Amino acid sequence: MYQVSNPAVLLRGRRRTATGETARLPVKRTVFLLGLTSLFTDISAEMVVTVLPLYLVYIGNFSPLAFGVIDGLYNGATAIATLASGYVGDRFKKHKEVAATGYGLSAICKLLLVAAGTAMSAIGAIVLLDRAGKGIRTAPRDAMISLATPRASLGTAFGVHRAMDTVGAMLGPLVAFGLLAIAPLAFDSVFLVSFCFALIGVGILVLLVQPERDRDAEGAEPPPPATLRGAFGLVKVPRFRAVLIAGALLSLATASDAFVFLALEDAIDLGTTLFPLLFVGNAAAFMVLAVPMGRLADRIGRGRVLLLGYGALLAVYAVLLGPLGGWPLVVATLFLLGTYYAATDGVLMALGSPVIPDEIRGSGLALLRTTTSLARLVASIAFGAVWMLWGISAALAVFAAALVAAVLVSAFLFVRAPEPA
């Protein structure tokens, strides 16, 4: 198995160039430290994510539609924060400072969950604030990764970051599982421990990550200032427009993993103690495949790998609708879902990066993420509504049909506007 759990291996790893010579993987210190920041932050975040569906549906007695609203907020309602943070980071060359603000805000929200109880209004407000933190930090973080990496290796760099991020996503549910195994209803303890891990992530970013401005060449002519007009002007670029539209269409047909896991829970009755382990299995598959998928995207085309990932998501819908049951169903679902994430998450950012000028890199990536986030918000609410009206099988069938159409349209768009050489 690829030992991404030891990040140093990634920095020492070698690849073979076109001439047959070996060369170090172009993963710089910035990418490694941002990956470490994300690792600890994801331990914190996934501790909450893994228990939130159970906490709201089984303790708070939320309906599927009510949970869909909360899940939509968690996945997509921070679009404006994402766009604003990307612009501010570009405009003032403060990507690190903006990202640190977002990481800090999300950490504080873990404490607020302790006092919120199960009131939907309070939970909704805290989730919105927490996702605002994620929205604030994501674009400047991705901009720092993109700006620190040669164009030919963007898929690999984002794959390395997502692999380290996913180590945290795997450890977080394990910690939550341990706490709930000791005390099955100790949700407050989960939230408090989550806060401590979040603080470690913030500390790594603030104390160790070097801002881009310190690496600028002395005497170089400064680039033109970033403007929102320039960012939105990217829509006129055929390749960026194709990626933007494809990302939105594919996201509209994407059921969140929380809904997938609730469907599994309904099918095989894992119980509250074992439920967090579903997130562990998904994260393990993502962790193992993230770097290989990133490198494959650099070699054969990022658009192809992105569509391959959504093919894996379509397979998730198929196995959940099929006759497979018990643990074979769990294993198949988790592997396919991990493959989907590995082939889409970082690959989408790597797909959009090459056509965005350096001076508006954060704004451009924020525009891409904002669009997909809004689409995921709509998708979560729609999935919850269809589930409540006609059942989980109908919701999966509707989303499977929509995903087939989205993949076909996206493939057409990518052919019309090919990747730059």
The pLDDT assigned to 296 comes to 93
> Per-residue pLDDT averaged across 96-101, rounded?
91
How far is Cα 124 from Cα 75, in angstroms, rounded to an integer?
12
CB contact set of 124 (below 8 Å; sequence gap of 6+):
69, 70, 73
Percent of the chain with pLDDT over 70: 78
Average pLDDT, the chain: 80
Paired with 16 in beta bridges are 22
pLDDT confidence bin for 263, thresholds 50/70/90? confident
The pLDDT assigned to 19 comes to 37
Phi, psi of 24 (to 5 degrees): -70, 145
> Per-residue pLDDT averaged across 133-147, rounded?
87
Indicate the Cα dihedral angle 83, 351, 68, 311, nearest 10°.
170
Highest mean pLDDT among 48-52, 78-82, 176-180, 350-354: 350-354
Q: Which of 143-157, 189-203, 260-274 bottoms out in mean pLDDT, i.e. has the lowest?
A: 260-274
> Per-residue pLDDT averaged across 68-94, rounded?
71
Percent of the chain with pLDDT over 90: 29
> Three-state SS for 273?
coil
pLDDT confidence bin for 16, thresholds 50/70/90? very low
Paired with 14 in beta bridges are 24
| Bigger pLDDT: 6 vs 240 | 240
> Per-residue pLDDT averaged across 234-259, rounded?
92
The pLDDT assigned to 414 comes to 93
pLDDT confidence bin for 313, thresholds 50/70/90? very high
Q: Are 198 and 319 in contact (CB under 8 A)?
A: no
134 has a pLDDT exceeding 70: yes
Q: How many CB atoms lie within 10 A of CB 405?
A: 12
pLDDT in tens, 296-307: 998 999 999 999
Q: How many CB atoms lie within 10 A of CB 240?
A: 21
76: left (phi over 0), alpha (psi -120 to 50) or beta: alpha
pLDDT confidence bin for 153, thresholds 50/70/90? confident
Q: Which of 9-23, 152-166, 387-401, 402-416 bottoms out in mean pLDDT, i.e. has the lowest?
A: 9-23
How far is Cα 336 from Cα 95, in angstroms, rounded to an integer?
34
How far is Cα 316 from Cα 404, in angstroms, rounded to an integer?
13
166 has a pLDDT exceeding 60: yes
42 to 39, 223, 293, 371: CA distances (angstroms):
5, 34, 21, 23
How far is Cα 174 from Cα 179, in angstroms, rounded to an integer?
9
The pLDDT assigned to 314 comes to 97
| Bigger pLDDT: 181 vs 248 | 248
Q: Which of 189-203, 225-239, 294-308 bottoms out in mean pLDDT, i.e. has the lowest?
A: 225-239
Domain 26-211+228-416, CATH:
1.20.1250.20
CB contact set of 302 (below 8 Å; sequence gap of 6+):
155, 347, 350, 351, 419
102 has a pLDDT exceeding 60: yes
Amino acid at 358: D
How far is Cα 286 from Cα 165, in angstroms, rounded to an integer?
10
Residue 118 has which token pair? 């199960």
122 has a pLDDT exceeding 80: no
pTM: 0.75
The pLDDT assigned to 363 comes to 83
The pLDDT assigned to 73 comes to 63
87 has a pLDDT exceeding 90: no
